[in-house]
Structure formats: C-alpha cells, structure tokens
Chain A
Amino acid sequence: MDGVYDLGGMDGFGSVEPESNEPVFHAPWEGRVLAMQRAMAYTGVWTIDMVRYAQERLPPDIYLTVPYYERWALAMERMLVERGLADSGELAAGRSLHPGKPLKRKLTRDVLEQSLIRGGFARPARAPARFAVGERVRAKNIHPRTHTRLPRYVRGRAGVIELLHDCHVFPDTVAMGRGEDPQWLYAVRFDARELWGEEADPTVSVSVDAFEPYLEPA
C-alpha cells in the first residue's frame, strides 16, 4: 500500500538527532511491548510481515506521531482482535473475560536462547533465478493496495543487480496469510541521479533488496 510508512526520499522531517548514552528502553513499558511481541510471534500466530502490515495499516497521523513501541503495541492489539485472540473489551478491562485459544507453543525461559535466534527466510528455489549479477533491471511501477516491500522511490527506476541473495519467502503473500510463495531476492543498485534527477550527488548510489516479481529487464 502507498502509505506514510514508506518514508524514503520524503522531505520535511528535519535533522537526525542522535541521543548520547541512549538507554535500550526509555520506559519499562517499552521492554514489555518488545518482549510480548517476541513471545507472541514465537507462538506462531503471526509472522514478521503480518506485524509490519498491521503497523502500516495504522492511521497515518498515528503512525507518524506515536513513539516507536507504542506503534508496536497498537499493531499487536489490532492483530489480537483481528484473530479473535482477545477482544477490545478485554483489552480495555485489563483482564481476560474468555478462555484463551489453544496456541501451538509458548515461549518459556528454558527455550529462550533458541527462540531468540533469528529464523531463516530462505527456501528452496522452484525455478532458476531470472536475473544475473551485473544485469540491468527496472523496478516495476506497481502500487499494490496491500503489503509490499518495494519502496515508492525506486518504482519505475532502472538499476543493476548487485547481489543475488537466495530464494526467500515473499512478504507480499505472507503478510496476507496467502502462503510463503518463495521468490528470488536481489540487491539492486540505483544511481542517485536515476532516483532523484540530474542535480543529485553523482557519488551516491542506493541499493534495495528486491524480490524477483518486483523487477523486469531494463
């Protein structure tokens, strides 16, 4: 979807403000939200792409203004309600009013270390890769109404295949609960002048990781 989350190249957000000696969490609730998100993902009720899509569907003004982990919390509440894992009355009351649904597994301390290792997203290829390193490609001018990982700022632009990563699960279908549909993943490099016009800095190039369905020969 063409949402405000797709921030690359937008102006007006001001300068970057690093914070010296920044704590990992700025308030205790931030850590609880992160931990609950990890624990719920471990149960298998949703995947990272579903979480991203839930955040992208927040109202634009909310997405841009609430603190980072509040965005996580809002998306988690939404996913719980959408999946019938909790209802809004329970979230408002702060207690369970109905029995929980049975879930595949639960994150406990004894499996903690294993559970925090990042999972693999590579899958066996069903066909040879369509593009080779060094080949020129164009990012398609597509505007899906649902989750996609092709940022707007490269759509319609030509670049060069720089790396062939592997065949990975396809976020566009996973986020919608329509299966992994694995696709080849490439790093595609674009010159800044191709992206931002002739006035752009000629020393700059930008690479994105793009799935094969996002690309066409250039």
Chain B
Amino acid sequence: MAQHDHDHEGEHGSALSEMQLRVRALETVLTEKGYVDPAALDAIIETYESKVGPHIGAQAVAKAWVDHEFKKALLADASKAIGTSREGNPRGEHLVAVENTPDVHNMVVCTLCSCYPWDVLGLPPTWYKSAPYRSRTVKDPRGVLADFGVHLPPATKIRVWDATAETRYLVLPMRPEGTEGWSEDRLARLVSRDSMVGTGLAKKPEEVA
C-alpha cells in the first residue's frame, strides 16, 4: 500500500513518490482551470483529519445508553436524532441505527465500494475498504469477527447490512457491564469505531482505566 511512500517523503522534499507527483499535476491542472481552490482543499483535509470522526458516533451511542427517549428517537430516525442533538452541526440524511442485543449482533459492510457513515464515523479505515472485508463479511461474518479477535456465542444471530444504496448504517453496541451511573462523556470513551461498524464490541471499563 501507500505506507512506504510516506516514509520517504515529507519535510526533506526528496524522493517524492510517483503518486505524489501525479496528484500534484492533477491539482495544478484543476487549480489553473479554476475548478478547485487549494485553500478549500486544505480545509477539507483538515476537517477529515481533525473534526469529523468516530467521536461523533460515540457521543450518540453514549447518549442512547443513558437516555431512553433519545435511544428510541435514534432507532426511529438516526439522521434526525443525531442532527438535532448537535445544534448547528447538521448531519447528512439516510442514517439508520441498528441495535445490538444479547441475541443479535449487527455488522456493516459495503461489498460494492466503500459506503460508510462519514458524518458520524469519519473516513473509513483501510480494512473496511479492502477486498478481504468486502468479500467475506456477507459469507463468513464469524470468520471476519475472529480476525478482529471477537468471538460471539454460537447462538447469537448475526445480521449483516450491505450498504448498497445511499442508506448508511450505524451499529448501536451493547452497553458494557459495570458502567452504572457513568456520565455520557465517560461512557463515550468505551465506544470504539469498530463497535459502531460491528467488527468490535464496546470496551470494558477496565480497558480504558
């Protein structure tokens, strides 16, 4: 993948990768033609590197754990519930929250490309976009879970959601035991990105101590 490129470039400005040069050429053409504004591109990158990420989804999950009415609203219409709970920070449409229970575990995949709930989780990790995850999740979800070190009881029903249209799925993981009386902010630290995709579970209290 691109990782090795990263090691050789950067501050020294030497040994720019072929892709770095190719993308720079593309940006120059688009800029000179007046199609894009490099300052706006900088701001988009900054947004996805530091503003939009799984902390948004984690806050919604934590709120659903402590606020029954919010949980009902989230499961009924997640776009609306999360949009209105974040004043002045509207979220995109067509978000559907699916709830994990002791009997049912939900997992989300996009077999056709890389559809992912950017608004609440940020950009997807490489594994989500990879051929192994996209090919296997709909056929062998327990095998995929094992790759993440997750082993569910054999009787647990597995519900896979293949995001083939513009609907985006967010898993509402189960609240871990031993968290009675915790605040939303403290609970949110237990909500990993993977737990909201369904390839993980919420962390146990001792994991974030």
A residues with a Cβ closer than 8 A to B are: 5-11, 13-19, 22, 24-36, 38-40, 43, 48, 52, 55, 64, 67-70, 73, 76-77, 80, 85-86, 90-96, 99-101, 103, 106-109, 112, 116-122, 149-151, 153, 163, 165-166, 168, 171, 185, 187, 189, 192, 195-196, 200-201, 203-211
Contacts and interface: CB of A to CB of B under 8 A. Distances in A.
Contacts of B91: 117-118
Nearest to B156: A203
A199 B122 CA distance: 37
B182 interface: no
B43 A112 contact: yes
Nearest to B144: A16
B127 A16 contact: yes
Interface string B58-97: 0000000000000000000000000000000011111010
Given A13-B135, A151-B111, A207-B162, A27 B122 contact: no
A205 B111 contact: no
A69 B129 CA distance: 10
A117 B36 CA distance: 18
A35 B167 contact: no
9 contacts: A17-B127, A18-B194, A22-B126, A26-B5, A32-B45, A35-B41, A68-B126, A86-B29, A210-B164
Contacts of B34: 100, 103, 106
B141 interface: yes
A8 B113 CA distance: 10
A14 B132 contact: yes
Given A24-B122, A109-B43, 14 more contacts: A6-B112, A19-B127, A33-B23, A67-B19, A73-B19, A100-B32, A106-B36, A112-B40, A119-B92, A121-B94, A165-B167, A166-B94, A168-B165, A204-B160
Nearest to B146: A15
B45 A151 contact: no
Interface of B: 1-3, 5-6, 9-10, 17, 19-30, 32-37, 39-45, 47-49, 52, 90-94, 96, 109, 111-114, 118-119, 122-123, 125-127, 129-136, 138-139, 141-142, 144, 147-148, 154-167, 194, 199
Given A27-B9, A35-B44, A96-B32, A67 B37 contact: no
A108 B35 contact: no
Contact of A39 (B22, B37, B127, B164): B37
Contacts of A17: 127, 130, 132, 147
Contacts of B32: 95-96, 100
Given A7-B111, A205-B159, A27 B5 contact: yes
Contacts of B126: 19, 22, 26, 68
A32 B123 CA distance: 14
Contacts of A92: 25
B20 A13 contact: no
A106 B163 CA distance: 30
Contacts of A14: 132
Given A34-B48, A34-B123, A151-B112, A39 B35 contact: yes
A100 B37 CA distance: 14
**7 nearest A-B residue pairs (beta carbon):** A118-B92, A100-B33, A94-B25, A8-B111, A96-B32, A209-B165, A35-B41
B41 to A, nearest CB: 4
B83 to A, nearest CB: 9
Nearest to A26: B2
A18 B132 contact: no
A77 to B, nearest CB: 7
Nearest to B145: A16
A76 B132 contact: no
